[in-house]
């Protein structure tokens, strides 16, 4: 299967600071990338969809000014959590799919803890 990486795997930051998470497709061109959030023992919640070179589309209730998404190339998308607060602490997971493909491959996730 296709490989998607995320960096960092874990990050701890202070309240009020910003954190950037990278998502890379290592062996295929990801025309579309997705960002999810997952709370303990819960399902995955889609936050936003990004197509390479376009602005991200955010799901209802997700603040676009707080969760900045950039998809500048066919192999890289970034999620920046701005002015992080403890309630932003969560497991953030990206996924990627190629043009015309149905299969969506997930990264290993990033555990964000805001203190």
Partner 1 sequence: QQQVKQSPQSLIVQKGGISIINCAYENTAFDYFPWYQQFPGKGPALLIAIRPDVSEKKEGRFTISFNKSAKQFSLHIMDSQPGDSATYFCALGLAGNTGKLIFGQGTTLQVKP
Q: Does the protein bind partner 1 through residue 44 (CB under 8 A)?
A: yes
Q: Does the protein bind partner 1 through residue 86 (CB under 8 A)?
A: no
Q: Does the protein bind partner 1 through residue 34 (CB under 8 A)?
A: yes
Q: Does the protein bind partner 1 through residue 52 (CB under 8 A)?
A: no
With beta carbons less than 8 A apart as the criterion, state whether 18 and 84 touch. yes
CB of 107 to partner 1, least distance (A): 5
Q: Does the protein bind partner 1 through residue 61 (CB under 8 A)?
A: no
Token representation of residue 5:
């990486």
With beta carbons less than 8 A apart as the criterion, state whether 11 and 109 touch. no
Angle at 86 between CA 79 and CA 11, to 5 degrees: 50
Q: Which stretch binds partner 1 (CB under 8 A): 14-22, 67-75, 82-90, 99-107?
A: 99-107
Show the beta-strand stretches assigned E in the chain. Answer: 4-7, 10-13, 19-25, 32-38, 44-51, 57-58, 67-73, 76-81, 90-97, 105-106, 110-114
Q: Does the protein bind partner 1 through residue 47 (CB under 8 A)?
A: no
Site of interaction with partner 1 (CB under 8 A): 1, 4, 6, 32, 34, 42-44, 46, 49, 93, 95, 97, 100, 102-109, 111
């Amino acid at each position: 299967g296709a490989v998607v990486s995320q960096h960092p795997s874990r990050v701890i930051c202070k309240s009020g600071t910003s954190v950037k998470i990278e998502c890379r497709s290592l062996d295929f061109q990801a025309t579309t990338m997705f960002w999810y959030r997952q709370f303990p023992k819960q399902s995955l919640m889609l936050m936003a969809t990004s197509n390479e070179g376009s602005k991200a589309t955010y799901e209802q209730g997700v603040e676009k000014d707080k969760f900045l998404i950039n998809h500048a190339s066919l192999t890289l998308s970034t999620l920046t959590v701005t002015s992080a607060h403890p309630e932003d602490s969560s497991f953030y997971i990206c996924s990627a799919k190629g043009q015309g493909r149905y299969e969506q491959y997930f990264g290993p996730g990033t555990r964000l803890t805001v203190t």
